[in-house]
Amino acid sequence: MATETHSLACRACILGRDARCKMLHSVAGQGQWGSKQNGQAAKTGTTLRLFPAFGFGFISPNQSRPQREPQEAGKCFGNFDHKATIMRITYFILLVCVLIAVLQLVLQFPSLPERVATHFGAGGEPNAFSSKSVFVLMMLAFVIGMPVFLVVLAKIMRYLPKSMINIPNREYYLHPDRAEKTLAEMETSMIWLATITEIFLIGLVQLTISANTQGKALSMTGFSILMIFYMCAITAFCVLLIRRYGRPQVGDH
């Protein structure tokens, strides 16, 4: 350490521009940097700070570095907020599903017959028909309108009276101290619900298109699998919602 200090202090010392540098030079030359100088610094409350880029050092009062607040520390990483990031990812997934649904109808429109079965009875036999243009417009209204409706509903919840938001322990979770967090969580939950519904609609539309292009009855096996998926997803959604707001949690205080 003495050699390092000697080399750092040497430049300013030779040029004679800093008397303090000469003092440091002499201390380093005596090989007392590691013991004597540190001991004095501990007693006097001073710390030697070296700046190799400029070739000199100075002695300044020993000051503790202020601790960065958590929110300030987050600024170093672009105000990273995992909840906001999750919400953006959820919206992105929903948008991808909507685009898939639209492309599904647009790309398969030419392969549809002029007279399209739009409703199926027991056994998957068609019992209602329309033109393919009406069918596609009707399906586009569903696959776009349903998620838009749920997104709008998720957004306007912030402006609704508390009495219109039906969740367990409403008075606790919609207290002013917790309302912002609760409403943000509910918005994310609504977007997930919209995504699940959109996936269900994509499957339902594909089953209908396949039945019409192949001239066959609707696949009841496929329809049953689709319904089981959707009902299980909705049930899981409701259970998670009840568990989340069923009783106050420690982290919510």
Both 49 and 119 in one domain: the answer is: no
**Is residue 66 situated within a structural domain?**
no
Measured CA to CA, the distance from residue 185 to residue 194 in angstroms comes to 14
Q: Please, what is the average pLDDT of the chain?
A: 75
Both 88 and 136 in one domain: the answer is: yes
| pLDDT tens digits for range 225-240 | 999 999 999 999 989 8
Please state the domain count of the chain: 2
Structure tokens at 227: 């319904």
pLDDT bracket for residue 194 (50, 70, 90): very high
Kindly state the helix (H) or strand (E) to which residue 75 belongs, with its residue range: helix 70-75
Range of the domain at 172: 80-252
**Is residue 212 situated within a structural domain?**
yes
DSSP symbol at 125: -
Both 8 and 97 in one domain: the answer is: no
Both 42 and 152 in one domain: the answer is: no
More confident residue, 53 or 197: 197
**Is residue 68 situated within a structural domain?**
no
**Is residue 203 situated within a structural domain?**
yes
More confident residue, 251 or 66: 251
Measured CA to CA, the distance from residue 173 to residue 51 in angstroms comes to 54
Both 114 and 234 in one domain: the answer is: yes
Question: Worst-scoring range by mean pLDDT, 28-32, 96-100, 112-116, 174-178?
Answer: 28-32
Both 23 and 128 in one domain: the answer is: no
Both 112 and 221 in one domain: the answer is: yes
Both 154 and 231 in one domain: the answer is: yes
**Torsional sign, CA 172, 177, 180, 181:** negative
